Every structure is written in C-alpha cells, then in structure tokens.
Amino acid sequence: MSFPVLTTALDLLRRTAEGVPADRLDDPTPCDRWTVGQVLMHAAGDQHAWAASVGAGTMPAYNPFDPPRGHDEGVQSVVRSAVEAATAAWAGIDSAAGPVGTPLPPAPTMDPELAAATCALDAAIHAWDVAVATGQPAPLTAELAAQLMPAARATAEPLRGFAYAAALPTEPGADPVAALLAYLGRDPHWQR
C-alpha cells in the first residue's frame, strides 16, 4: 500500500480492537450513543464501505451508523476482516491516479491521497475512542494527528451532526492530538 498514514491508522485500529477484553464491549465511549462494541462495529463497517467505494470489496451487511449491539462473530474478528479488506482494496490504488470513490455523500470522489487520509482518519479516531474507553494507551501520536488534520479540515464540516459533533474549543497551546480531537467534536480529556 502506498499510503503510509492509512497503513499506520489501520494497524492502530486492529491492535486497539485486539486489546479490548470481552467484558468491556458494553462500556461507554466518547461516542456517547455507542458502546465499545458498537464503535468497533461502526469502524469495521466504515472500512468495508471504503474498500467497496474504492472498487475492491463489498459494503457492510449493516448500516455502520446504526451498528449492531450483538457480537456473535467476535468483534475483533470483524475488525480484523475489515482491516484486511481495506488493506487489499487500497493496495490496488495508485496515489497518482485520478479520483477514487468514497462512501461520503458530500464527496462521492476524491483525490487518492485525500481519500486515503480520510479513511485513515476514520480508523485512527475510532481506535482512540476505543482505547480511551477501555483503558488502553491512547494510540494517536502528534505526528499522526498532524498528518490527519488536513483530511479532517477537508471533510468534517459537511458531516457535522451526522458523522462528527460540533467542534469544541481548542485549548491554548494544544498539541496536534488535542487539536484534532477537539476539531472532530471529541473531548481530548474524555474519561469513563
């Protein structure tokens, strides 16, 4: 895959999902409507939708914005399968090619680099949601957050109220992680 930011973000999502104990799937998350298990199912659905949109994969069998509560298959295997599908789909995308499809209604196509960064943004932010909800080390680094901020700025506004909450004020001197989280409507200091 020729999109390092996406490779990093997908790995964070996979590792974070694998670090969730089975008894923590019903815990609350920074996504106040969803449990840990639902955020993972949402993130997996999003990755399947991205894979299908760039031309190699199938859409998820459920609506990622109404993620199921049941985890019969094992949510970790669902996430692992989604990461594998996304990795395979993006491996066939040339970063210098013309626009690629997206699952985002306001932007049905994007430049491949921006699309990959937007897909990475989804994976990394949900990895953060799950990590902080389950007591894992926060996976976002300042470097990754800085790489993801342009994708956030290019895509978040038309998706506010649907995929993102209203932006929160950025604290003076906030690092790139806190700035990205606040921009996406997440409290950088969220605790369970």
pLDDT digits (tens, 9 = 90+) for 59-118: 998 889 888 876 655 899 999 999 999 999 999 999 888 999 999 988 899 999 999 999
Residue whose C-alpha is closest to residue 16's, from 51, 50, 44, 46: 44
**In this structure, what token pair is assigned to residue 8?**
């990093």
Look at the chain and report how many structural domains it folds into.
1
Residue whose C-alpha is closest to residue 127's, from 3, 23, 9, 45: 9
- Report how far residue 60's alpha carbon sits from residue 155's, in angstroms, rounded to the nearest whole number: 22
pLDDT score, position 55:
84
- Which one is predicted more confidently, 98 or 1? 98
- Given a cut of 80, whether residue 39 has pLDDT beyond it is yes
Burial 137-171 (b: 16+ CB within 10 A, else e): eebbeeebbebbbebbebbbeeeeeebbbeeeeee
- Which one is predicted more confidently, 37 or 71? 37
Q: Sign of the C-alpha dihedral, residues 66, 102, 127, 48?
A: positive
Residue 178 maps to a domain: no
Question: What average pLDDT does this structure show over 121-135?
Answer: 97
* Three-class SS state of 190: coil
136 and 19 Cβ atoms separated by less than 8 Å = yes
- CATH code for the domain in which residue 41 is found: 1.20.120.450
Residue 164 maps to a domain: no
- Report how far residue 183's alpha carbon sits from residue 127's, in angstroms, rounded to the nearest whole number: 17
Domain that holds residue 51: 4-141
120 and 10 Cβ atoms separated by less than 8 Å = yes
Residue 129 maps to a domain: yes
Residue 50 maps to a domain: yes
- Given a cut of 90, whether residue 51 has pLDDT beyond it is yes
pLDDT score, position 63:
87
Residue 150 maps to a domain: no
